[in-house]
Protein backbone atom coordinates (compact mmCIF):
# COMPACT_ATOMS: atom_id res chain seq x y z
CA UNK A 1 0.00 0.00 0.00
CA UNK A 2 1.70 3.21 -1.12
CA UNK A 3 1.83 5.87 1.57
CA UNK A 4 -0.66 8.67 1.06
CA UNK A 5 0.15 11.97 2.60
CA UNK A 6 -2.60 12.68 5.09
CA UNK A 7 -2.56 14.99 8.09
CA UNK A 8 -4.62 15.39 11.24
CA UNK A 9 -5.77 18.85 12.24
CA UNK A 10 -8.82 20.62 13.66
CA UNK A 11 -12.03 19.88 11.77
CA UNK A 12 -15.17 21.93 11.22
CA UNK A 13 -17.13 18.66 11.61
CA UNK A 14 -15.87 17.61 15.04
CA UNK A 15 -12.64 17.93 17.01
CA UNK A 16 -9.73 16.58 15.01
CA UNK A 17 -10.09 15.41 11.42
CA UNK A 18 -7.88 13.88 8.76
CA UNK A 19 -7.18 15.77 5.55
CA UNK A 20 -5.63 14.86 2.20
CA UNK A 21 -2.31 16.59 1.67
CA UNK A 22 -2.34 15.51 -1.97
CA UNK A 23 -5.03 14.30 -4.39
CA UNK A 24 -6.34 10.77 -3.76
CA UNK A 25 -7.97 8.75 -6.54
CA UNK A 26 -11.22 6.84 -6.24
CA UNK A 27 -10.51 3.25 -5.14
CA UNK A 28 -7.19 4.05 -3.45
CA UNK A 29 -6.48 2.46 -0.09
CA UNK A 30 -5.48 5.37 2.14
CA UNK A 31 -4.72 4.09 5.63
CA UNK A 32 -5.17 1.06 7.84
CA UNK A 33 -7.30 1.61 10.95
CA UNK A 34 -5.17 0.49 13.89
CA UNK A 35 -5.90 -0.10 17.54
CA UNK A 36 -5.44 -2.64 20.29
CA UNK A 37 -7.16 -5.92 19.44
CA UNK A 38 -9.78 -6.70 22.09
CA UNK A 39 -12.66 -9.11 22.41
CA UNK A 40 -16.16 -7.69 22.74
CA UNK A 41 -16.20 -8.86 26.38
CA UNK A 42 -12.92 -7.01 27.08
CA UNK A 43 -14.37 -3.83 25.57
CA UNK A 44 -17.55 -4.20 27.64
CA UNK A 45 -15.44 -4.67 30.77
CA UNK A 46 -13.21 -1.70 30.00
CA UNK A 47 -15.90 0.74 28.86
CA UNK A 48 -19.25 -0.73 29.92
CA UNK A 49 -19.59 1.36 33.08
CA UNK A 50 -18.65 4.64 31.38
CA UNK A 51 -21.46 6.99 30.51
CA UNK A 52 -22.03 7.04 26.74
CA UNK A 53 -20.94 10.33 25.20
CA UNK A 54 -21.39 9.76 21.45
CA UNK A 55 -17.64 9.68 20.86
CA UNK A 56 -15.73 6.46 20.32
CA UNK A 57 -12.50 5.09 18.96
CA UNK A 58 -13.86 1.52 19.03
CA UNK A 59 -14.22 -0.13 15.63
CA UNK A 60 -15.94 -3.51 15.34
CA UNK A 61 -13.59 -5.73 13.36
CA UNK A 62 -15.80 -8.83 13.28
CA UNK A 63 -18.07 -10.82 15.58
CA UNK A 64 -15.07 -11.81 17.73
CA UNK A 65 -12.95 -8.66 17.95
CA UNK A 66 -12.92 -4.88 18.23
CA UNK A 67 -10.07 -2.49 17.45
CA UNK A 68 -9.61 -0.07 20.35
CA UNK A 69 -7.86 2.99 18.94
CA UNK A 70 -7.85 4.58 22.41
CA UNK A 71 -4.81 2.32 22.76
CA UNK A 72 -2.32 1.75 19.93
CA UNK A 73 -4.46 3.84 17.56
CA UNK A 74 -3.13 5.76 14.58
CA UNK A 75 -4.21 8.78 12.51
CA UNK A 76 -7.22 6.87 11.12
CA UNK A 77 -9.01 7.25 14.47
CA UNK A 78 -9.44 10.96 13.71
CA UNK A 79 -11.40 10.42 10.47
CA UNK A 80 -14.86 11.87 11.03
CA UNK A 81 -18.29 10.55 10.10
CA UNK A 82 -20.29 12.01 7.23
CA UNK A 83 -23.67 11.22 5.72
CA UNK A 84 -22.05 12.00 2.32
CA UNK A 85 -18.65 10.35 2.79
CA UNK A 86 -15.71 10.34 0.40
CA UNK A 87 -14.26 7.13 1.91
CA UNK A 88 -15.43 3.79 3.22
CA UNK A 89 -14.11 1.32 5.75
CA UNK A 90 -13.28 -2.03 4.19
CA UNK A 91 -12.69 -5.18 6.23
CA UNK A 92 -10.04 -7.46 4.79
CA UNK A 93 -10.64 -10.93 6.21
CA UNK A 94 -7.65 -13.15 6.89
CA UNK A 95 -7.30 -15.72 4.09
CA UNK A 96 -6.79 -18.52 6.63
CA UNK A 97 -9.93 -17.63 8.60
CA UNK A 98 -8.01 -16.27 11.60
CA UNK A 99 -10.41 -13.53 12.72
CA UNK A 100 -7.80 -11.94 15.00
CA UNK A 101 -5.78 -11.16 11.87
CA UNK A 102 -8.58 -9.39 9.98
CA UNK A 103 -7.78 -5.76 9.06
CA UNK A 104 -9.70 -2.57 8.38
CA UNK A 105 -8.64 -0.16 5.67
CA UNK A 106 -10.03 3.23 4.72
CA UNK A 107 -10.46 3.56 0.94
CA UNK A 108 -11.56 6.46 -1.28
CA UNK A 109 -15.01 6.02 -2.86
CA UNK A 110 -14.49 9.08 -5.08
CA UNK A 111 -11.62 11.32 -6.06
CA UNK A 112 -10.51 13.49 -3.12
CA UNK A 113 -8.83 16.85 -3.60
CA UNK A 114 -5.80 18.03 -1.65
CA UNK A 115 -7.01 19.84 1.47
CA UNK A 116 -10.32 17.97 1.61
CA UNK A 117 -11.32 16.26 4.84
CA UNK A 118 -11.57 12.46 4.74
CA UNK A 119 -14.87 11.05 6.00
CA UNK A 120 -16.74 7.77 6.08
CA UNK A 121 -20.12 6.63 7.36
CA UNK A 122 -19.53 5.08 10.79
CA UNK A 123 -22.49 2.76 10.32
CA UNK A 124 -23.35 2.76 14.04
CA UNK A 125 -26.07 0.22 14.78
CA UNK A 126 -27.51 -0.06 18.27
CA UNK A 127 -29.70 -2.91 19.48
CA UNK A 128 -31.77 -0.61 21.67
CA UNK A 129 -34.55 1.68 20.36
CA UNK A 130 -33.30 4.87 18.72
CA UNK A 131 -34.80 7.40 21.09
CA UNK A 132 -34.56 11.15 20.56
CA UNK A 133 -31.97 11.21 23.38
CA UNK A 134 -29.78 8.58 21.65
CA UNK A 135 -30.11 10.30 18.27
CA UNK A 136 -28.95 13.54 19.89
CA UNK A 137 -26.11 11.78 21.73
CA UNK A 138 -24.96 10.27 18.42
CA UNK A 139 -25.67 13.52 16.56
CA UNK A 140 -24.08 14.15 13.19
CA UNK A 141 -22.41 17.46 12.40
CA UNK A 142 -21.25 16.68 8.87
CA UNK A 143 -23.13 19.57 7.24
CA UNK A 144 -24.05 17.52 4.16
CA UNK A 145 -27.27 18.29 2.29
CA UNK A 146 -28.09 14.61 2.90
CA UNK A 147 -27.34 14.76 6.65
CA UNK A 148 -29.71 12.61 8.70
CA UNK A 149 -28.80 14.43 11.92
CA UNK A 150 -27.49 11.24 13.54
CA UNK A 151 -24.66 8.77 13.07
CA UNK A 152 -27.06 5.95 13.96
CA UNK A 153 -28.06 3.76 11.06
CA UNK A 154 -31.61 2.56 10.46
CA UNK A 155 -32.47 -0.77 12.07
CA UNK A 156 -32.08 -3.73 9.71
Using CA atoms in the order 1, 79, 84, 142, what is the torsion angle rounded to 10 degrees?
A: -170
The pLDDT value given to residue 147: 93
Give a yes or no: residue 156 inside a domain.
Answer: no
pLDDT digits (tens, 9 = 90+) for 97-116: 999 999 999 999 999 999 99
Domain containing 47 equals 6-137
Q: How many domains does the chain have?
A: 1
Domain with residue 83: its CATH number is: 2.170.270.10
Q: Are 107 and 27 in contact (CB under 8 A)?
A: yes
**Digit-coded pLDDT (tens) for 29-83:** 999 999 999 999 998 888 877 666 556 788 999 999 999 999 999 999 999 999 9
Residue pair 42/71 in contact by the 8 Å Cβ criterion? no
Amino acid sequence: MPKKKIVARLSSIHGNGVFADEPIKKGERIVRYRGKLRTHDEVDEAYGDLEENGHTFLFTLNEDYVLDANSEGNIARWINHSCSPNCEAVVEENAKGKSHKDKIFIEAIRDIKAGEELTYNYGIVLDEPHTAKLKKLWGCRCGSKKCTGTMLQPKR
